[in-house]
Every structure is written in C-alpha cells, then in structure tokens.
Amino acid sequence: MAEDSGISWTHNTQNFWLGCDTVAPECSKCYISRILSKQGREPWGKIYRSQTWEDPWEWEAECTVNEYAKRVFTCSLSDFFHVKADPWRKQAWRIIKRTPHLVWLILTKRPERIEAFLPHDWGNGYSNVWLGVSTGCRKTLNKMDTLRRIPAAVRWVSAEPLIEDISADINLEGFGWVVVGGESGSGNEYLWKPATKLGDDLENEDGRRTMRYQWAASLRDKTKAAGLPFMFKQVTAPRSGFGYNALDGKDWHEFPPAPNGYEWAPRQAIPTKCKMTDEQWQQFKGVPTSGMCCKTLLTMIDKCDWFIPNDTEGCRATLACIRIEVNDGLPIMIPQPTLAALRKLLKRYSRVETILDEKKTYFVFDGGVTTFGVVYPNFSFVAAEPADGNSSVSTAAKTSKTKKEASQ
C-alpha cells in the first residue's frame, strides 16, 4: 500500500509493518484479513516488517517542491502501537519527524499504549502528527477518554465501521475531526447486536454489518454543532468507498487545516461508480422514490436478501423492514404497510412462503406506500395494491400460482 490510496480521507498510506490482532467488536470483519490472506500472509497474530520504508522521502520531496502538505495514513494494515512492532517504532518516529510536509494520521485501537511509546521530544505533540482512535459502538467509546489525556496537534475519531448508534453518548471534547463510515465487504449484511461476543462475531460467516442513515446523520449533526470538520466515507456495501454522498446527497469531505501554514495537496479523485444517484441516497435515507416503476427496478436486480431488523424500536427510518440488494449493493427499503400485506400473503399461501425460504423470490416496490410485487425467477412479474389486505392480495397470489403451474 503506497501512493494514491483508495481511502478517500488520505493522500497516501504507509505501512511500516503489516498484521494485527482483533481487540474490539469493530475488528471482526476487518479488511486486513482479506488483503493479507491474498498476499499469502497470516493477518492475525503475526507482524511483518514492510519493504516501503523509503516511500515517505519521495512524498516529502514532492510536497516540498509544490509547497503543499499531504495526509498519510499509517498503519492501514496494522496498528502503529501494536506490541509486536515495538522494536521498529523508534525508526518510524524518526522518519515521521523528518517529513514535515506529511501529516501522519495515526489511527489506533490501542490508545492505552500511546503515552509510553511517544518520542522523548513529543512535548505537546508533533505538528505533523494527528492521533486518532477507532470506535464504532458504545463498548469502545472509552478509548476516546484515554486519547483525550494525551497531547496532540489534532485528536480525531474514526467511527468506521459504525455498527451502532453512538451519537447520544459520544463526547467530542478535545477532538478536532470526526470520520464516519459503514462496513464494506462481501457476504450477507446483518445487524450487529451489542450483546454479541467478539469470538462469536469472528465465527459468523455473514459479511458486513449494517449502518443506518440516522446513526451517521446524527453524528454529522453533533459534529457540526461542535464546530468541527466532518468526513463521511461510505455506506455499508460490498465495495469500499461507495456512497460517499449518501448523507442527503452531499460530499462530506472536510478536514482540519494543514499545519505550518501549508495548503493541502489536491484531493484524489473519487471514482464515479462510488457516487450514489439521487434515488439511491434517498432510498438509503428512507425516502420513497417516486417515478421508479416495478419494471424499471426489476432490470436492476441481481441479488435478493431478506432482512428483518431485530430492534424495530431502534429503527427510525419508516422504510426499514425488508430489503433486497441491487447492483452496487444498494438497499431497497420496503414500506411498513407493504410488510403487513406481505405477511398476510405468506400466512395464506404456503407455496409462496416456501419459495421465499429458498430465496428464489425477489420482492420489489415502485415507490408507493402499499404497492408490492413478487417476482419468480424466469417467471412473469405480478403486482398488487392491497387496499384493505384482502381481494388484491388473493388475486396476486392466485395469478402467480396459476402462471407457475402453466409454465411447468
């Protein structure tokens, strides 16, 4: 990992070492596992010294010539304060101190180890080092208290992956920057439960954990009320970086000013494929999208997943009961009245329920609050608008069954 990082809040990534250990709920689905495994390395329990220690000198030379500063994330594939990296850290500090045009973003899940392993001349902090801590759930908010006691030019917090609403409990006093994002990765999406043990989450074969719009939006509002810069990276999706404009269609890439009077280097371009359309971010927010008919939506579907939140009281969005995934992993939310009508349908027609259990059925809507449709693979589309939950539901199911039998 080096120049032109795919992480949109940094210019470069520098891994002095690679490998880590899981120490918090946020760790269990970490991308480190996927990346290092592909390299033939063991991602957990072993630390590898990298071959990229000379790269920062090139970046410093570039910044000096252009008279700007660059943000450098270290260590994106490890933890700067990991105990097994203790023999190499002093050498890393020397490079950091001698590259004043590089602003080193040191993000850790081990803030309790920072103070003992700072350089002897740290004082109130190097001007080009920002110390950050990760917390995406209430269990790890206390890590911010530990970092708050350590002097730094900028303290920052990364609520990524955000797997729980922490907006009511987070204390931003003493912090200068807030980064928020959902979890990326393949596999089925699921809602994390605070009571989940770390070991159980590691063994869970499902993929990424859900982040809801309101959780991220509430953190944004609290950050802006405190007068701090706010950075939103992505929604929960298979691809990293997707949905950077998911909070009401705006690009929230805000940063503290560069140190020593420098300007920031131009921000790296974010691929167009990472941007949500107006319809997509409105659906993420829970706003019904008008003008999208069932036939149009049907052509977009490439995957079907059923998701019923366990904590319905904590589900603030009105359109959050059942979901499918279309291309780019976009959630399509199904209105509450539709869910009630669907449940009636499932109770009455066991054949439909069986098909759903086998995950062979797609469920879509066209933006109306009571319209639903059932799509059988390689089969015709049937839609209905139940007014009082009886006649049209029955018609839809009978029509589906008749057409299916006729096709056999």
4 belongs to a structural domain:
no
What is the number of H-type helices and E-type strands within the chain? 11, 16
What's the Cα-to-Cα distance from 400 to each of 100, 346, 361, 376, rounded to whole Å? 68, 13, 12, 9
Residue 169 and residue 147 share a domain: yes
Q: For 3, how many CA atoms within 13 A lie in the half-sphere containing its CB?
A: 8
Instruction: Look at phi and psi of residue 174 and say left if phi exceeds 0, alpha if psi is from -120 to 50, else beta.
Output: left
What is the residue-level pLDDT of the chain in tens, covering all 408 positions?
344 457 999 999 999 999 999 999 999 888 888 889 889 998 888 999 999 999 999 999 999 999 999 999 999 999 999 999 999 999 999 999 999 999 999 999 999 999 999 999 999 999 999 999 999 999 999 999 999 999 999 999 999 999 999 999 999 999 999 999 999 988 888 888 888 887 777 777 668 899 999 999 999 999 999 999 999 999 999 889 999 999 999 999 999 999 999 999 998 889 999 999 998 898 888 754 433 323 333 333 233 333 333 333 332 222 222 333 333 333 334 444 444 554 554 444 333 333 333 333 333 333 322 223 333 222 222 222 333 333 222 223 333 333 334 344
Quote the CA–CA distance of 23 and 201 in Å, as a whole number. Answer: 12
pLDDT at 301: 28
What's the Cα-to-Cα distance from 51 to each of 1, 54, 56, 113, rounded to whole Å? 10, 8, 12, 25
Residue 239 and residue 209 share a domain: yes
336 belongs to a structural domain:
yes
The last residue of a domain, from among 271, 305, 335: 271
Residue 295: give the domain boundaries. Answer: 278-407
pLDDT at 185: 87
pLDDT at 70: 98
pLDDT at 359: 34
pLDDT at 84: 97
3 belongs to a structural domain:
no
What's the Cα-to-Cα distance from 369 to each of 85, 99, 292, 335, rounded to whole Å? 56, 57, 13, 6
Q: Do the Cβ atoms of 241 and 270 come closer than 8 Å?
A: yes
pLDDT at 161: 95
The last residue of a domain, from among 215, 241, 271: 271
Residue 80 and residue 158 share a domain: yes
Residue 77 and residue 201 share a domain: yes
Residue 298 and residue 266 share a domain: no
Quote the CA–CA distance of 365 and 276 in Å, as a whole number. Answer: 19
pLDDT at 287: 58
400 belongs to a structural domain:
yes
Residue 285 and residue 246 share a domain: no
Which distant-in-sequence residues (6+ apart) come within 8 Å of 101 by Cβ? 59, 60, 63, 64, 68, 69, 70, 128, 262
Residue 142 and residue 110 share a domain: yes
Q: DSSP string of 49-105? A: E-S-TTHHHHHHHHHHHHTEEEEEEETTTS-TT-GGGHHHHHHHHHHHHT-TTEEEE
6 belongs to a structural domain:
no
10 Å Cβ neighbour count for 285? 18
Q: Enter the tokens of residue 217.
A: 């939006």
pTM: 0.72
Quote the CA–CA distance of 305 and 354 in Å, as a whole number. Answer: 15
Which distant-in-sequence residues (6+ apart) come within 8 Å of 2 by Cβ? 12, 13, 14, 52, 55
Residue 300 and residue 208 share a domain: no
Quote the CA–CA distance of 57 and 59 in Å, as a whole number. Answer: 5
For strands 372-375 and 362-364, give the pairing. Answer: antiparallel
pLDDT at 268: 83
Residue 332 and residue 252 share a domain: no
pLDDT at 327: 34
149 belongs to a structural domain:
yes
pLDDT one-digit tens code per residue, 79-117: 999 999 999 999 999 999 999 999 999 999 999 999 999
286 belongs to a structural domain:
yes
Residue 241 and residue 146 share a domain: yes
Quote the CA–CA distance of 172 and 159 in Å, as a whole number. Answer: 12
pLDDT at 291: 31
Burial bucket for residue 227 (CB in 10 Å: 0-12, 13-18, 19+):
exposed
1 belongs to a structural domain:
no
| Residue 137 preceded by cis peptide, ω within 30 | no
| Residue 161 preceded by cis peptide, ω within 30 | yes
The closest alpha carbon to 290, from 364, 212, 383, 369, belongs to 369
Residue 92 and residue 241 share a domain: yes
Strand partners, 184: 237
The last residue of a domain, from among 222, 253, 271: 271
Mean of the per-residue pLDDT values for the chain? 75
pLDDT at 348: 42
3-state helix, strand, coil split of the chain in percent (to 5) is 35, 15, 50
pLDDT at 365: 33
Quote the CA–CA distance of 232 and 307 in Å, as a whole number. Answer: 25
Residue 283 and residue 150 share a domain: no
Helical (H) or strand (E) element with 33: helix 31-38
In the chain, how many domains are there? 2
